[in-house]
């Protein structure tokens, strides 16, 4: 499936009315939630990939501290990767959910999305 087919055509976007502040806020939250979903997926992917490699450390067996550090590093890497939009998962999610979010923008604008960590 091509991503071009999922993107709205230039004619359909030009014919749409300008977005209200509430709709813009709802779309902003949708983008943030889609990026978090992509980050979660990528982190699960990293976890699955790590399970395929032997657990070896410079000192022999991997300690609990090293395992925790590795998991935290993978989480940070997955968040950074999701923010680059290089995989396109968040973009596809946004496109799929955009019409639904715009239709319910009064409710969606009030929805709470976990803020990014500093």
Distances (CA, A) of 81 to 74, 106, 112: 10, 31, 23
Is the pLDDT confidence value at 6 over 70? no
Is the pLDDT confidence value at 70 over 60? yes
Residue 97 and residue 89: Cα distance in Å, rounded?
Answer: 12
- Where along the chain do its domains lie? 21-108
Q: What is the pLDDT of residue 56?
A: 79
Q: What is the pLDDT of residue 10?
A: 42
Q: Give rounded-to-5 percent helix, strand, coil for the chain.
A: 70, 0, 30
In tens, the pLDDT along 72-96 reads: 999 999 999 999 999 999 999 999 9
């Amino acid at each position: 499936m091509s991503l071009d087919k999922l993107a709205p055509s230039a004619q359909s976007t030009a014919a749409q009315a300008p977005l209200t502040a509430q709709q813009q806020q709802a779309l902003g939250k949708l983008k943030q939630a889609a990026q978090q979903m992509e980050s979660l997926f990528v982190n699960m992917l990293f976890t699955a990939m790590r399970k395929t490699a032997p657990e070896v450390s410079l000192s022999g067996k991997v300690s609990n501290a090293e395992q925790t550090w590795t998991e935290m590093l993978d989480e940070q890497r997955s968040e950074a990767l999701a923010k680059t939009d290089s995989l396109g998962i968040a973009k596809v999610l946004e496109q799929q959910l955009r019409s639904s979010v715009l239709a319910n923008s009064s409710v969606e604008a009030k929805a709470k999305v976990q803020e990014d960590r500093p």
